[in-house]
Amino acid sequence: MKHRLTTVLILSLLLMGTLYTGGMRVSVKPENATSEVLLVNAGKIRPYYPLSIRKTSVILVKGPGELRIMTRARFTPKTKGLLNYRVAYKIDGGDEHLLDVSDVKRSNDASFKDEELGIPGDSHPLALRLGRGYHSIEFALRDSLPKVLARYLWAPGKEVKMKWIELEPVKPYSPVELLAKEEIASYYRFSAQQPLKVEVIGPTEVRLLTRVENSYNMQGEANYRIQLRQYGSVVRTYQLSSMRSETTTYRDSSKYVAGKAREIVFKVPQGKNVYEIAPLENVSILGCMRIPEQDVDLEE
């Protein structure tokens, strides 16, 4: 399903248990960016990144917070009249949303640092409020003739304190005990071949902590994707990145080194829901699931 937006509409996706506080915004560079274009506005130089029809630009952030996207069309010397363009985006691999921007004029207060690039158009904003946990947002052009640039600004929000209760998977998985800060936590091992299966009664939300199992000789970051499926259909796909943890160890000896925890939070609708959770890569993952303590009665 596609949802079309006009430029005056701001889409807000606010998950339970989060609060946006309007904190200081920081510029975010797309994970796969290979170039940038510098604009001068109000005496300050600001980086923008090209949008493409062929490949998506991927933004990774840790919520809660608000992601603001500022888009500008590029006017060349041959451009006549006003410009129109369309930006498509997906949040955590979900439904595609469309932002239609029309009748764009040349900007009177912004210019390219490299004047040979032409003149930037007026800025058109889009704001996305994102809940707790890690999120990946993909952007691409759709049916657009002019070149379009985007700038991404992230403002972290404040988490509402909440008590969480452990949620066990449906299948009889053997727990893997990890030791962190002198406390023991039970995780469950899963993979693409053996997904994690969980049954939840909503409405509620599930907090999933994932850790990559690294070999001792593995260095750098491990990139992986976690897919959430319900009755055979893909609900969400999360892009995550993790490094070896310096503070978490296996309680018993292991041939692996635990990665740093990466948090995912997803909403569960009314009624009984069954989910499968699996990585898309050939990696071994440890997972720990929790639900809000206030929703425990729903499971009984």
The tens digit of pLDDT for each residue in 258-270 reads 999 999 999 999 9
Angle at CA of residue 299, ends 297 and 300, nearest 5°:
70
Looking at the predicted structure, is the pLDDT value of residue 15 above 80? no
Same domain, 62 and 135: yes
Query: Encoding tokens for residue 2?
Result: 């596609």
Q: Where are the beta strands (DSSP E) in 92-147?
A: 97-104, 110-112, 119-120, 124-141
Same domain, 107 and 209: no
Same domain, 110 and 171: no
Which residue, 159, 180, 214, sits at the end of a domain?
Answer: 159
Cα 142 to Cα 85: distance, rounded to the nearest angstrom: 8
Which residue, 143, 159, 175, sits at the end of a domain?
Answer: 159
Torsion of CA 3, 125, 103, 5, to 10 degrees: 10
- Percent of the chain beyond pLDDT 70? 90
Length of the chain: 300
Same domain, 154 and 10: yes
Total number of domains in the chain = 2
The predicted model gives 221-236 an average pLDDT of 94
Q: Which secondary-structure segment (H or E) carries 275?
A: strand 262-279
Looking at the predicted structure, is the pLDDT value of residue 285 above 90? yes
CB neighbour list of residue 16: distance below 8 Å, 6 or more residues apart: 131, 205, 267, 292
103 in the Ramachandran plot: left (φ > 0), alpha (ψ -120 to 50) or beta?
left
Cα 195 to Cα 179: distance, rounded to the nearest angstrom: 24
Which residue, 159, 180, 207, sits at the end of a domain?
Answer: 159
Same domain, 12 and 148: yes
Q: Which of 136, 278, 131, 134 is nearest to 205 (CA)?
A: 131
Same domain, 80 and 97: yes
Same domain, 209 and 267: yes
What sign does the dihedral 34-153-113-142 (CA atoms) show?
positive
Same domain, 253 and 148: no
Cα 89 to Cα 99: distance, rounded to the nearest angstrom: 8
In the block, residue with structure tokens 């990946």: 136
The predicted model gives 14-38 an average pLDDT of 74
The tens digit of pLDDT for each residue in 37-86 reads 999 998 999 999 999 999 999 999 999 999 999 999 999 988 989 999 99
Cα 294 to Cα 292: distance, rounded to the nearest angstrom: 5
Give the pLDDT score at 179.
92
What is the span of the domain harbouring residue 210?
164-299
Cα 254 to Cα 256: distance, rounded to the nearest angstrom: 5
Looking at the predicted structure, is the pLDDT value of residue 2 above 90? no
Q: CATH number of the domain at 283, please.
A: 2.60.120
Same domain, 203 and 152: no
Same domain, 213 and 144: no
Cα 236 to Cα 252: distance, rounded to the nearest angstrom: 33
Which residues, in sequence order, are bridge partners of residue 288? 209
Same domain, 9 and 155: yes
Query: Encoding tokens for residue 156?
Result: 């972290």
Q: Which secondary-structure segment (H or E) carries 298?
A: helix 296-299
Same domain, 68 and 196: no
Which residues, in sequence order, are bridge partners of residue 216? none
Q: Which of 62, 56, 130, 54 is nearest to 91 (CA)?
A: 130
Query: Encoding tokens for residue 152?
Result: 């991404």
Give the pLDDT score at 86.
96
Looking at the predicted structure, is the pLDDT value of residue 276 above 60? yes
